[in-house]
Amino acid sequence: MKTDHLIHALALDSQIQSPPVKRVLAVAAVPALAIALGLYFSLLGLRPHLIALLGEPRISFKIALCLLLAVLSGPLVLRLARPGAEVRRPALLLFIPVALLAVSIMAEAATVPEVLWGQRLIGSNAAFCLKSIPLLALAPLAGVLIALRHGAPTRPGLAGAVAGLLSGAIGAALYATHCPDDSPFFVATWYTLGVAIVTAVGAIAGWRLLRW
């Protein structure tokens, strides 16, 4: 095949274009979130008196923290799908939720008597938390990976991992509105582990599915 003829063929094919990642993501988000919410309401459901409880700082903090993680990892995953895009700044922003979590742990340690630490850490629902976050994250992860296939991630494993982080954060935010364990000790341990599982699954899936 001559390169000139290949160019001629590519130009003739210029009318058919795959849609940009952002648009696919916007479309895929609808069924993905619908499935996650369906699972949430059929298997978990809102914590009783949640609205009244939002005044309790531990509860609003854990929900806000998960939402912040989702909001920060979204732009990063979009940039990872664009060759040559600057990713350092959005990646560094991910330290904000990490730092906030560290501060909340210190605040908890300062205000809760040491004898209660173990109980706060183990909580009442650790195993359920570990199952629920990945389960709720599954459909969002599929949606983000489908969208990324329309992009051009030159680091497929990393792009998949951040897709997992975003989906894990969505799953964790949903789970946070159900979970009765509010201590930052619990969140830092079990939520982090749940999100890490989804991130690892995303990395493996990305490495396999996002190469081009």
Partner 1 sequence: MRASDREKEWASLMRAAIAGNAAAYQNLLTQLTPVLRKAARRGLAQAGMADTDAEDVVQETLLAIHLKRQSFEPEAPFGPWLWTIARHKLVDALRRRGRRINLPIDDFVEVLANEDFEPSMIVADVDRHLDGLPAGQRNVVKIIAVDGGSIDEAATKLTMTKGAVRVALHRGLASLAAKLR
Please give the residue ranges that form the binding site for partner 1 (CB under 8 A): 1-21, 81-85, 150-152, 154, 211-212
Please state, in angstroms and as integers, the Cα–Cα distance from residue 55 to each residue in 49, 50, 87, 95, following that order: 11, 9, 36, 26
> Residue 101 corresponds to which amino acid?
L
CB-wise, 60 or 154, nearer to partner 1?
Answer: 154
CB-wise, 114 or 212, nearer to partner 1?
Answer: 212
Take residue 92 and report the two structure tokens written for it.
Answer: 């560094």
Nearest distance from residue 77's CB to partner 1, in Å? Answer: 13
Nearest distance from residue 74's CB to partner 1, in Å? Answer: 16
CB-wise, 163 or 187, nearer to partner 1?
Answer: 163
CB-wise, 15 or 42, nearer to partner 1?
Answer: 15
DSSP, collapsed to helix, strand or coil, labels residue 52 as: helix
CB-wise, 84 or 118, nearer to partner 1?
Answer: 84
Evaluate whether 198 touches 165 at the Cβ level (below 8 Å): yes
Q: How far apart are CA 169 and CA 194, in angstroms?
A: 9
Nearest distance from residue 7's CB to partner 1, in Å? Answer: 4
User: Could you tell me which residues come within 8 angstroms of residue 157 by beta carbon, excluding any fewer than 6 positions away?
Assistant: 203, 204, 206, 207
Nearest distance from residue 13's CB to partner 1, in Å? Answer: 5
Nearest distance from residue 177's CB to partner 1, in Å? Answer: 35
- Dihedrals phi, psi of 80, to nearest 5 degrees: -65, -20
